[in-house]
Homo-oligomer: A and B are copies of this chain.
Amino acid sequence: MYTLGELAKQLDLVLTGNARTPVSGLASLTEAGPDELSFLSSEVHLPRLSSTRAAAVILHPEHAVDCPVNKLLAEDPYLAFARASRLFDRAPVGASGVHPGAWVAADASVHPQAAVGAGAVVEAGAVVAERAVLGAGVYLGHDAHVGADSRLYANAVVYHNVRIGKRCRVHAQAVLGADGFGFARGPGGWEKIHQLGGLRIGDDVEIGAGTTIDRGTLEDTVIEDGVIIDNLVQVAHNCRIGRGTAIAGCSGIAGSSIIGADCTLAGGTGVVGHIEICDNVHITGMTMVTRSITEPGSYSSGTPMTATREWKRSAVRFSQLDEMHRRLVSLERLLLDADSREQQDP
């Protein structure tokens, strides 16, 4: 529970209204009750502002006049809302220390202010830094490092020699540093290329539930600082994901591809292997990125959704596109011939 005055101070925002108003939580404009803080981050929601019952609304000064309740003025209301969300986060944090049901190797190093949950396993040579939290059932392999203030949620698995930076969040079931998918064809079938490289994850990285990031073949797979990755994303061996890039759910990045800084990959994106994407590239959902991208901008592939009956007709014609093109060219020739004949013999 905060007062509006405290919130204004902590969020470094200008308050217009009653500083003593108590605030117990965050809610949307329509759902907020008289002790909840709301926010207006997009003009789309402007029609809902006049009827809000919120204790206060975080909004841009230009909308202050339309707000019937207390106001917290922000140049970037969405960012201010993000910061407010931290204040109201009541997710439980495990007690520090090593749970009696955890197994920590004798020569592993767990900081006294770190926490290791029940059923977690910390192998020989592993390091868990100050205030890091390993959830229940987490596996931390030999010589793996978890930086200060990082948190691994229940049952996440970290293979040997993986380095995780500071202030990272790794959600449940994520797998960091499993073998890359490397095989050579031998006379009797596939022969495994043992994956001798590692995986380095920078600071302030968030990794979603069930996401898998493989170790490198010879050198390290690298996730740079500030990268955010959603759930069920696959990052293959030898990739490098640049600083601040965001990858949405169900995307897959094939081996040895390099993605620049400040890119966004929408959900279901696929990136083929051995290509390079420059900084500030945005990929729309379910796009198949089949070649390197050297110009910042937005890129897409796929076809639009329609009723299945109509789609089937378009899909059939897609297979005939080259033939359609040839027929078009033939017609053009015929017409130009006809035209020229007409012009010659009017």
Contacting B at CB under 8 A, from A52-69, are none
Whole-angstrom distance between the alpha carbons of A173 and B244 in the complex?
27
Alpha-carbon gap, A238 to B247, bound state (A): 19
Q: Is A43 an interface residue (CB 8 A)?
A: no
Q: Which residues of B contact A286 (CB under 8 A)?
A: 270, 288
**Chain A contact patch, size range:** 35 or more
Chain A interface (Cβ < 8 Å from any Cβ of B)? 25-28, 31, 76, 78-79, 81-83, 85-86, 88-92, 99, 101, 103, 117-119, 121, 123-124, 135-137, 139, 141-142, 153-155, 157, 159-160, 169, 171-173, 175, 178-179, 181-186, 188-196, 204, 206, 208-210, 212, 214, 217-219, 225-226, 228, 230-232, 234, 236, 243-244, 246, 248-250, 252, 254, 267-268, 270, 272, 282, 284-291, 297-322, 324-325, 327-328, 331-332, 334-335, 338-339, 342
Cα A312 to Cα B284 in complex, Å, equals 11
Q: How far is the CA of A250 from the CA of B269 in the complex (A)?
A: 11
8 contacts between A and B (CB under 8 A): A99-B103, A153-B159, A157-B173, A178-B208, A192-B206, A297-B308, A303-B318, A335-B338
Copies per assembly: 3
Contact A119 B103 (CB under 8 A): yes
Q: What is the CB-to-nearest-CB distance from A147 to chain B, in angstroms, rounded to a whole number?
A: 16
Take A101-B103, A267-B254 as given contacts and tell me if A321 and B318 are in contact as well, using a CB distance cutoff of 8 Å: yes
Which of B208, B248, B302 is within 8 Å of A315, CB to CB?
B302
Interchain CA distance A248-B98 in the complex, whole Å? 39
Which residue of chain B is the closest to A120 with respect to CB atoms?
A: B119
Complexed CA–CA distance, A27 and B220 (Å): 11
Q: Is A226 a contact partner of B189 (Cβ separation < 8 A)?
A: yes
Question: Is A252 touching B268 in the complex (CB atoms < 8 A)?
Answer: yes
**Contact between chains at A339 and B334 (CB < 8 Å):** yes
B172, A172: Cβ atoms closer than 8 Å: no
Which of B92, B153, B172, B246 meets A123, CB within 8 Å?
Answer: B92
Contact B244 A189 (CB under 8 A): yes
Which of B123, B236, B249, B306 meets A252, CB within 8 Å?
B249
CB neighbours of A83 from chain B (8 A): 191
A288 vs chain B, min Cβ distance (A): 5
For A316, list chain B residues within 8 Å (CB): 304, 322
Distance in Å: Cβ of A244 to nearest Cβ of chain B: 5
A257 to chain B, nearest CB (A): 11
Is A81 touching B301 in the complex (CB atoms < 8 A)?
Answer: no
How distant is the Cα of A214 from the Cα of B172 in the complex, in angstroms?
11
Q: B181 contacts A218, CB within 8 Å?
A: no
Kindly list chain B residues whose C-beta atoms are within 8 Å of the C-beta of A339: 334, 338
Asked if A25 and B305 sit within 8 Å, CB to CB, the answer is no
